[in-house]
């Protein structure tokens, strides 16, 4: 999933170095964990377990990653990379108190280490302390203005806390720095939509959807943007793509609504309404707004729409006199 749908990008993991998987297997055959190994051999085994832990982390298997990091530290307690990644594994496994204690242990001697600060901020966010995380991301921005991952996470939290203008400015700054960053492009477009700056959001959404053709949520947002701007032909084209094959009942209904209320294509709109219902659409509130719209005031046409809705068990009340 693309980072940015209101989610923080995770703290960076420190990459493992040294032994690869094949070396790890050979070492384990020769030296089990309980054996007495020389300092050099212990170091090689620690690096091998660090490599395995990082492999599991990439797969999101944090329990196994944590176990591997523990073994790495059993062989070499001074292996900072394993200690750091173990802290990340604790956060991902929901052991926030332990993760924060571990991060604070690092920060006691390295208070300005932005990598550790970012890890603590991430753990705070995961534990539900968004305010604490936001404060730390602000500190990181002061220490390292080039840390775009932390700046992105700060923008996410600013947006979530209602500080819309600040988050918008930060997203725009990040996108200017990295024009190819799709996650930032989408977040900026979304916040512009929320601020009713639809015309500014559309080119961002168009560029995003062109690059991420399979992102249905983004395509739906673009369709709604076209509709807001009264670009009905473009909106219908997008809704039609989304609704194809009954994949998106809400898109079928949106297409029906535009055709009946804006595009003067009642018959096709009624077909789309029936398709939406067949695909499982049952939004009574949206149905009520449809039949009460002044553009559908013709008694005969209104009655036909109500009949389709009533047949599907969607109640809209009595027509207004």
Q: pLDDT at position 281, please?
A: 96
SS3 assignment, position 246: helix
Of the candidates 166, 240, 191, the residue with the CA atom closest to the CA atom of residue 205: 191
Q: For the ranges 10-19, 70-79, 100-109, 140-149, which has the lowest average pLDDT?
A: 10-19
Region 153-173 average pLDDT: 95
- Over residues 179-218, the pLDDT tens digits come to 999 999 999 999 999 999 999 999 999 999 999 989 999 9
Per-residue pLDDT at 24 exceeds 50: no
Can you give the pLDDT at residue 30? 39
Indicate whether 246 belongs to any domain: yes
pLDDT for 77 equals 87
Share of the chain above pLDDT 70, in %: 88
* Structure confidence at residue 310 (pLDDT): 95
pLDDT value, residue 320: 67
pLDDT at site 246: 80
pLDDT in tens, 276-294: 999 999 999 999 999 999 9
- Residue range(s) defining the domain that contains residue 304: 235-321
Answer whether residue 23 shows pLDDT above 70: no
Domain membership flag for residue 267: yes
The pLDDT assigned to 229 comes to 98
Decide if 9 contacts 3 (C-beta within 8 A).
Answer: yes
Task: Find the range with the poorest average confidence among 5-14, 85-94, 163-172, 283-292.
Answer: 5-14
Domain assignment present for 110: no
**Cβ contact 275:252 at 8 Å:** yes
Once rounded to an integer, what is the mean pLDDT over residues 90-118?
A: 92
Determine, yes or no, domain membership for 188.
no
The answer to whether residue 260 scores a pLDDT higher than 50 is yes
Task: Output 93 or 21, whichever has higher pLDDT.
Answer: 93
The count of structural domains within the chain is 1
Could you give the CA distance from residue 77 to residue 139 in angstroms, rounded to a whole number?
A: 30
Residue 149 lies in a domain: no
Are residues 183 and 2 in contact, defined by beta-carbon separation less than 8 angstroms?
yes
Residue 192, classified by CB atoms within 10 Å of its CB into exposed (0-12), middle (13-18) or buried (19+), is: buried
CA–CA dist 34, 173 (Å, integer): 53
| Residue-averaged pLDDT of the chain | 88
The confidence band for 245, taking pLDDT boundaries of 50, 70 and 90, is confident
Residue 247: which residues within 8 A CB-CB, separation 6 or more? 216, 279
> Which residue, chain included where needed, has tokens 């500080």?
163
What single-letter DSSP state applies at residue 36?
A: -
What is the rounded CA–CA span in Å between residue 113 and residue 106? Answer: 9
What's the pLDDT band for 6 if we cut at 50, 70, 90?
Answer: low
Query: For 106-155, what is each residue's pLDDT tens digit?
Result: 899 899 999 889 999 999 998 999 999 999 999 999 999 989 999 999 99
List the one residue out of 102, 100, 162 whose CA is nearest residue 132. Answer: 100
How far apart CA 174 and CA 167 sit, in angstroms, is: 10
Q: Which residue has the higher pLDDT, 14 or 312?
A: 312
Query: 3-state DSSP call for residue 94?
Result: coil
**Across 33-47, 210-224, 243-257, least confident range:** 33-47
According to the model, what pLDDT value does residue 5 have?
A: 53
Distance CA 83, CA 70 (A): 8
Least Cα distance to 8 among 152, 148, 160 occurs for 152
- Residue ranges of alpha helices (H) inside the chain are 21-30, 39-58, 62-75, 80-92, 96-109, 114-127, 130-143, 148-160, 164-177, 182-194, 198-211, 216-228, 232-243, 249-261, 266-278, 284-291, 299-311
Assigned domain for 124 exists = no
| 295 inside domain | yes
pTM, two decimals, is 0.78
Is residue 90 domain-resident? Answer: no
């Amino acid at each position: 999933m693309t980072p940015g749908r209101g989610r923080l990008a995770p703290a960076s993991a420190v990459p493992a170095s040294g032994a690869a998987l094949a070396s790890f297997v050979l070492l384990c055959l020769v030296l089990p964990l309980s054996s007495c190994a020389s300092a050099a051999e212990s170091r090689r085994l620690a690096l091998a377990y660090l490599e395995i832990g990082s492999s599991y982390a990439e797969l999101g298997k944090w329990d196994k990653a944590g176990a591997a990091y523990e073994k790495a530290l059993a062989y070499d307690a001074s292996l900072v990379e394993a200690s750091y990644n173990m802290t990340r594994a604790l956060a991902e496994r929901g052991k926030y108190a332990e993760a924060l204690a571990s991060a604070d242990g690092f920060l006691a001697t390295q208070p300005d280490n932005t990598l550790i600060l970012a890890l603590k901020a991430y753990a705070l966010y995961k534990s539900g302390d968004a305010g604490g995380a936001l404060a730390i991301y602000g500190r990181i921005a002061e220490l390292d203005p080039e840390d775009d991952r932390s700046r992105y996470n700060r923008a996410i939290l600013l947006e979530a806390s209602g500080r819309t203008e600040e988050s918008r400015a930060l997203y725009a700054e990040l996108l200017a720095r990295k024009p190819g960053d799709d996650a930032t492009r989408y977040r900026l477009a979304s916040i512009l939509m929320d601020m009713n700056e639809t015309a500014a959001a559309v080119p961002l959404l168009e560029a995003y959807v062109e690059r991420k053709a399979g992102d249905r949520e983004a395509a739906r947002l673009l369709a709604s943007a076209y509709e807001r701007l009264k670009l009905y032909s473009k909106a219908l084209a997008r809704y039609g793509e989304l609704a194809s094959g009954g994949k998106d009942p809400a898109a079928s209904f949106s297409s029906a609504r535009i055709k009946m209320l804006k595009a003067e294509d009642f018959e096709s709109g009624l077909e789309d309404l029936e398709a939406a219902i067949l695909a499982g659409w049952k939004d009574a509130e949206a149905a009520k707004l449809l039949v009460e719209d002044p553009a559908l005031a013709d008694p005969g046409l209104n009655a036909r729409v109500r009949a389709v809705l009533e047949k599907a068990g969607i109640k809209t009340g009595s027509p207004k006199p």
